[in-house]
Amino acid sequence: MRGREQQLDANRWMDAYFDHLRVEKGLSANTLEAYGRDLRDFADWLEENGGGSALEAGEDQVRLHLFQLKQKGMASRSIARKASSLRGLYRFLLKEDAIASDPTRLLDVPRPGAALPRDLSLDEVEALLAQPDTSEPLGMRDKAMLELLYATGLRVSELLRLRLQDLNLEVGYVVAYGKGKKERLVPAGEIALERLRQYLLSGRPQLAGRGAGRARPDKNPYLFLNRNGRKLSRQGFWKLLHQYALRAGILSPVTPHVLRHSFATHLLEHGADLRSVQLLLGHSSVSTTQIYTHMNRERLKQIYQRYHPRAT
């Protein structure tokens, strides 16, 4: 009976922790899902190994859990993320006096080296952006989305959350709402703005009117609509991006984040400073943006190895 009470108590504290992450930290649904998966895995492991609830776990159990994940071949990056999830939980529990000590306080998990993100060449970007058929509404929408994504470096969630009121085509910027609902102004180039004008004039009105008899999607405030006049989903965007990449002959995977990385990399290659790129991407810390300087260094090394007569 005591064990069941402990488990119920642990569940209540877990719910409180996720409320804290959602409301006070403003974490996205995807981040919350990742945290939940990590913490459920740990709770299941404790149950399977007779360790009681998360409130009773000690330092040795936390270390053993992570060690066994490593033995099973889990990547160091994934282990580091799971360790971070556990640290966050136990720091919250300690602060709320739910536990007497933090079992992760001495946990030392090496930070894995940041993986260099994939980016597209200028030729690949041009080929991708040329794919939508702008003679019909969906093609106008897709052209506007792809041009805007590459012109601004928005996250796909930011792109699909854009509302009509978030555009200022005369001045040439969009209002993006990033992680933690932080608002920022992002300038857009004239090519992307022109494609937006075409979509708003000839494409979006047709899409908005397709379901007007049901939930009045003609009143939908969102900028990018699906074929039924409703807000386009992330899954829908990923599918069409994948299809356009294949048509463009790009063999490596192309995701919305690849376009975001390409935006940042191409800016830096053409002389933009790191601080400006940080602001455009909406990174809270310049250290997050510094990965792109590593990308440039790697590219310089490749150019040197290829062209310098005494490189090898």
Catalytic residues: 155, 179, 257, 260, 283, 292
Q: Could you tell me the strand order of the sheet in which 173-177 lies?
A: 167-168, 173-177, 183-187
Q: Residue 299: how many CA atoms within 13 Å on its side-chain side?
A: 16
Where b means 16+ CB within 10 Å and e means fewer, 139-175 reads ebbbbbbbbbbbbbbbbbbbbbbbeeebbeeeeebbe
The 3-state secondary structure of the chain, one letter per residue: CHHHHHHHHHHHHHHHHHHHHHHHCCCCHHHHHHHHHHHHHHHHHHHHCCCCCCCCCCHHHHHHHHHHHHHCCCCHHHHHHHHHHHHHHHHHHHHCCCCCCCCCCCCCCCCCCCCCCCCCCHHHHHHHHCCCCCCCHHHHHHHHHHHHHHHHCCCHHHHHHCEHHHEECCCCEEEEECHHHCEEEEECCHHHHHHHHHHHHHHHHHHHHHHCCCCCHHHCCECCECCCCCECCHHHHHHHHHHHHHHCCCCCCCCHHHHHHHHHHHHHHCCCCHHHHHHHHCCCCHHHHCHHHHHHHHHHHHHHHHHCCCCC
